[in-house]
C-alpha cells in the first residue's frame, strides 16, 4: 500500500484541493495497486484504466479552475450490479455475458457528476444472492484479512464482497455496494470496513440490476465513518426515474460526525442475544455499550419480538421478487443465448446454463411461493409478518429510542469453500440474521468495525436508525470508531 | 411443507429452467431444507394484520403523461444475442 492509496477520501480531498497531489497521480497509484493485488484477491472483475485516467485528468482541470465537485478526483470501485454505460455490467452472472448497458445508473451518474473516478467493476455474489461472494461467475474474492498464523483463504462476506475487499486492501478509496438482506453490512463487518445501508428510497434504484425490488438499496462501503458519509451524500438523491425514490433533500451527513451523544437513547434488543454466538462478539457488544455510556448516552433494554421470523419471511419475499425480476433473462434481449429445439427449449437451456445454482434455487422458491394455490399461505403471510417486524421497530422508536445497537454478524469471516456452509443453504442464510430485519422494515443500518476476535479477524457492530435519520447513525457509529480505532489488514498479497 | 419430485419439475417448468432427474432430486432436498426453515412462520399469529405493500409511507409519484424518452431502437437492441434491423431475432414461434 503506497502512501497515496493509504489516504482516506477526506484526506485525499484535502491534498487534492491543496494541490499537494493530483488526481492523475492518485489514480495511477490505485491502478498500480490493483494490478499488483488483483490476482490474489480477485476483487475487480473489470478494471477500466482508460476511463479512470480520462476522468482523473478532467478532475485535475476542474480543481485547477476551482470547480471541484464533492468527490473530485476520488478513485472509486463500482459493484458489478450498477449499470455503467458501455462498461461490463453483469451482476457477476454468466447469463449477462457481454452486457454493456447504454445507460448509467442514477447512483453512479451522481458520483461522476461530483467528480469521482471509476477504477472498475467489483466482484459480487451472482445477482447479489449470497453471503460469501462464492456464487460469483467470476470466482470467489479472497478476504485481505487472514487468521493470525494461518494462511487459509477466507471469504470477504457477500454479496458486496469485491467492494469490501477492495476497500479493505486499499484498491479504491471507497466503493458502491447494495444491500438486500445484509449485503453491505456483513462484508463490511468481515473486512474491518464501514458499510451503510440507507433507508429504502434514499438512493435511486434506477439502472441497478434488480434482485428484490422492495428490499434492494444502494449504499457505500468505506474505510471510516466520515468517508461513508461523504460517499452517501453523493450517491443519494431524489430521482424522478425511480417511483420509490423519496423526495427529501439529502442532508450533509458529515456535519453529524462528532455531535454529542449525551442524553441519546440507545436501545439494546434482547432478541439479538442468540444461542451459540461467539463470546468475542458478545464481549465486544458489551464493550460497545460501555463506550456509549462513557459518551453520555442512555442505554435502554428493548424488545423486538418478531426478530426470529425476519429471516424465514425474507426467504419468501426476496425469492418471490427475484423470480419475477429474473424472468427477463431469456436469451432474447441481452446476454447469453443457448440454442434449443424451439423457443421454450431455448429459454430453458439459456436459463439453466446462465444462472448458477444459488440463483436457480431462489428462482424455484420464488416461483413456488407465488404459484397458484400457495400465494396466500406463503407470500401474503410473509408480508403480514413483515408488517409485524416493522411495528416492532416503530414501537421502540415511539418510546424515544434514537438508535438500536446490535452485533452486525453472528460470526467473523469463514474460509472459502466451508463445507458445512456449502452442504446446508440455510446455514449460509443465517449470516444475515442480524441485518435482514432492517431490510424487511426499510430502515437504515450501519456496520462499523469495533475490534478483532481471538483469531485476529475484524468484527463489526451495527446501529439501526429511524427512517431517513442516517445522520444519527453516522453520529453514533463515530463514537465506536473513536473508541475502537481503525483496522487495516497486514499486507500479504 | 414437503415438495415431491413432480412438484419440483412442475415449478422448474413454470420458471423455465431445464431440470433433469438428477438435478430435480438435488433441488428437492435443498428446497425441502429451506421450506423446513420457512415453515417457522406458521407459528406467528397474523390474524387481522395487513400485509405490507410499501416499507415507506409515501404517495405514488405521478408525472404528466407525455413522451420523455424514445427513438433508441438501436440502443435497445444493441445487446441482443441476435438482432436484425433493430428487431430481436428468436426461433420461429408460429407454425
pLDDT tens for residues A360-418? 999 999 999 999 899 999 999 999 999 999 999 999 999 999 999 999 999 999 999 99
The pLDDT of residue A2 = 65
Determine, yes or no, domain membership for B32. yes
Measured in angstroms, the CA of A474 and the nearest CA of chain B are apart by 21
Which residue has cell 422508536? Answer: A397
Q: Which residues of chain B have pLDDT under 50?
A: none
B33 in a structural domain: yes
In a domain, B28, yes or no: yes
Tell me, yes or no, whether B25 lies in a domain.
yes
Q: Domains in chain B: how many in total? A: 1
3-class DSSP state for residue B31? helix
By percentage, how much of chain A surpasses pLDDT 90?
Answer: 96
Question: Is some CB atom of chain A closer than 8 A to the CB atom of B24?
Answer: no
Residue A245, phi then psi, degrees to nearest 5:
-75, 135
The answer to whether B40 contacts chain A (CB < 8 Å) is yes
Mean pLDDT of A159-180: 98
Cβ atoms within 10 Å, residue A217: 27
pLDDT of residue B1: 63
- Give the C-alpha separation, A342 to A164, whole Å: 43
Of A332, A352, A378, the CB nearest to B80: A332
CA dist B38 and A286 (Å) reads 31
Instruction: Tell me the CB-side half-sphere exposure of residue A172, using CA atoms within 13 A.
Output: 34
* DSSP H or E run through A404: strand A403-407
Distance CA A356, CA A201 (A): 29
The confidence score (pLDDT) of residue A1 equals 46
**Averaged pLDDT for residues A130-134:** 97
Query: What are chain A's domains?
Result: 1-493 (3.90.1300.10)
Q: Quick one: average pLDDT of A318-335? A: 97
**Is residue B34 in some structural domain?**
yes
Cβ-based neighbours of A35, under 8 Å, separated by 6 or more: A47
Do the Cβ atoms of A426 and B46 come within 8 Å? no
Residue B91 included in any domain: no
Instruction: Answer for the pair B52, A387: CB distance below 8 angstroms, yes or no.
Output: yes
Interface A:B, Cβ pairs < 8 A? 162
Task: Write the CATH number for B13.
Answer: 1.10.20
> Domain for residue B62, yes or no?
no
* Residues 50-89 of chain B whose Cβ lies under 8 A from any Cβ of chain A: 50-56, 58, 60-61, 63, 72, 75-76, 78-82, 88
User: Can you give the pLDDT at residue A423?
Assistant: 81
Cα–Cα distances in Å, from A406 out to A287, A350, A383, A450, A452?
Answer: 12, 43, 24, 12, 16
DSSP letter assigned to residue A208: B
pLDDT tens-place string over residues A334-376: 999 999 999 999 999 999 999 999 999 999 999 999 998 999 9
Alpha helices in A103-251 (DSSP H): 106-113, 161-168, 185-191, 225-235
CB A331 within 8 A of CB A338: yes
- State the DSSP H helix or E strand holding residue A189, giving kind and residue range, or none if neither: helix A185-191
> What is the model's pLDDT at position A220?
98
* Distance (Å) of CA A437 to CA A104, A112, A272, A310: 30, 32, 11, 5
Bin A194: left if φ > 0, else alpha if -120 < ψ < 50, else beta.
beta
For residue A94, give the C-alpha cell. Answer: 454468466
Which of B1, B4, B9, B30 best tests the A interface by mutation, with the highest count of A CBs <10 A? Answer: B30
Cβ of B17 within 8 Å of Cβ of A360? The answer is: yes
Chain A partners of B93 at a C-beta cutoff of 8 Å?
A: 342-343
DSSP secondary structure letter of residue B86: T
Residues of A with active-site annotation: 79, 159, 183
Domain that holds residue B16: 5-39
Cβ of residue B93 closer than 8 Å to a chain A Cβ = yes
Average pLDDT, chain A: 97
| Spatial distance between the Cα atoms of A309 and A113, rounded to a whole number of angstroms | 41
Chain A residues touching residue B65 (CB < 8 angstroms): none
From A97, A83, A70, select the one nearest A16 (Cα to Cα): A70
Least CB–CB distance from A426: residue in B34, B55, B81: B34
Amino acid at each position: 500500500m503506497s502512501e497515496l492509496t493509504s489516504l482516506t477520501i477526506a484526506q485525499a480531498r484535502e491534498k487534492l484541493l491543496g494541490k499537494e497531489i493530483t488526481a492523475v497521480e492518485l489514480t495511477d497509484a490505485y491502478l498500480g495497486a490493483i494490478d499488483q493485488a488483483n490476482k490474489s484477491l480477485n476483487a475487480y472483475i473489470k478494471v477500466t484504466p482508460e476511463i479512470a485516467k480520462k476522468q482523473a485528468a478532467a478532475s485535475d482541470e476542474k480543481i485547477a479552475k476551482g470547480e471541484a465537485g464533492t468527490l473530485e478526483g476520488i478513485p472509486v470501485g463500482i459493484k458489478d450490479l450498477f449499470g455503467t454505460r458501455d462498461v461490463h455490467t453483469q451482476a457477476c452472472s454468466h447469463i449477462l455475458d457481454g452486457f454493456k448497458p447504454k445507460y448509467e445508473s442514477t447512483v453512479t451518474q451522481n458520483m461522476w457528476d461530483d467528480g469521482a473516478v471509476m477504477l472498475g467493476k467489483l466482484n459480487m455474489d451472482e445477482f447479489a444472492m449470497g453471503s460469501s461472494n462464492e456464487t460469483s461467475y467470476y470466482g470467489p474474492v479472497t478476504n485481505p484479512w487472514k487468521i493470525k498464523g494461518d494462511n487459509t483463504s477466507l471469504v470477504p462476506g457477500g454479496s458486496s464482497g469485491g467492494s469490501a475487499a477492495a476497500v479493505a486492501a486499499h484498491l479504491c478509496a471507497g466503493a458502491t455496494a447494495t444491500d438486500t438482506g445484509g449485503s453491505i453490512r456483513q462484508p463490511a463487518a468481515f473486512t474491518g470496513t464501514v458499510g451503510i445501508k440507507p433507508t429504502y428510497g434514499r438512493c435511486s434504484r434506477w439502472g441497478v440490476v434488480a434482485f428484490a425490488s422492495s428490499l434492494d438499496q444502494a449504499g457505500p462501503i468505506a474505510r471510516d465513518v466520515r468517508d461513508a458519509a461523504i460517499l452517501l451524500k453523493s450517491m443519494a438523491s431524489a430521482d424522478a426515474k425511480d417511483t420509490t425514490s423519496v423526495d427529501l433533500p439529502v442532508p450533509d451527513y458529515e456535519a453529524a460526525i462528532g455531535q454529542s451523544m449525551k442524553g441519546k437513547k440507545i436501545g439494546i434488543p434482547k432478541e439479538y442475544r442468540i444461542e451459540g454466538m461467539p463470546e468475542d462478539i458478545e464481549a465486544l457488544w458489551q464493550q460497545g455499550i460501555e463506550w456509549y455510556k462513557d459518551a453520555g448516552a442512555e442505554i435502554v433494554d428493548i424488545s423486538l419480538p418478531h426478530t426470529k421470523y425476519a429471516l424465514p419471511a425474507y426467504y419468501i419475499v426476496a425469492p418471490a421478487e427475484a423470480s419475477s425480476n429474473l424472468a427477463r433473462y431469456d436469451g432474447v434481449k441481452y446476454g447469453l443465448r443457448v440454442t434449443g429445439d424451439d423457443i421454450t427449449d431455448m429459454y430453458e437451456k439459456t436459463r439453466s446454463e446462465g444462472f448458477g445454482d444459488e440463483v436457480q434455487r431462489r428462482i424455484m422458491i420464488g416461483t413456488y411461493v407465488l404459484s397458484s394455490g400457495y400465494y396466500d399461505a406463503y407470500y401474503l403471510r410473509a408480508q403480514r409478518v413483515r408488517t409485524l417486524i416493522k411495528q416492532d421497530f416503530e414501537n421502540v422508536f415511539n418510546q424515544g429510542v434514537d438508535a438500536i445497537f446490535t452485533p452486525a454478524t453472528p460470526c467473523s469471516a469463514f474460509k472459502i469453500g466451508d463445507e458445512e456452509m456449502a452442504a446446508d443453504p440455510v446455514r449460509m442464510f443465517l449470516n444475515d440474521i442480524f441485518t435482514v430485519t432492517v431490510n424487511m422494515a426499510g430502515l437504515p443500518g450501519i456496520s462499523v468495525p469495533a475490534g478483532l476476535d481471538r483469531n485476529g479477524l475484524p468484527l463489526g457492530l451495527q446501529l439501526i436508525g429511524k427512517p431517513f435519520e442516517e445522520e444519527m447513525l453516522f453520529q453514533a457509529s463515530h463514537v465506536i470508531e473513536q473508541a475502537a480505532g481503525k483496522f487495516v489488514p497486514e499486507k500479504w498479497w | 411443507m414437503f415438495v415431491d419430485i413432480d412438484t419440483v419439475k412442475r415449478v422448474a417448468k413454470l420458471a423455465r429452467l431445464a431440470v433433469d432427474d438428477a438435478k430435480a432430486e438435488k433441488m428437492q432436498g435443498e428446497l425441502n431444507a429451506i421450506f423446513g426453515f420457512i415453515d417457522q412462520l406458521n407459528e406467528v399469529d397474523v390474524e387481522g394484520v395487513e400485509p405490507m405493500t410499501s416499507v415507506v409511507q409515501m404517495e405514488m409519484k405521478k408525472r404528466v403523461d407525455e413522451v420523455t424518452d424514445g427513438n433508441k431502437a438501436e440502443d435497445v437492441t444493441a445487446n441482443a444475442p441476435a438482432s436484425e434491423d433493430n428487431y430481436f431475432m428468436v426461433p420461429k414461434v408460429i407454425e
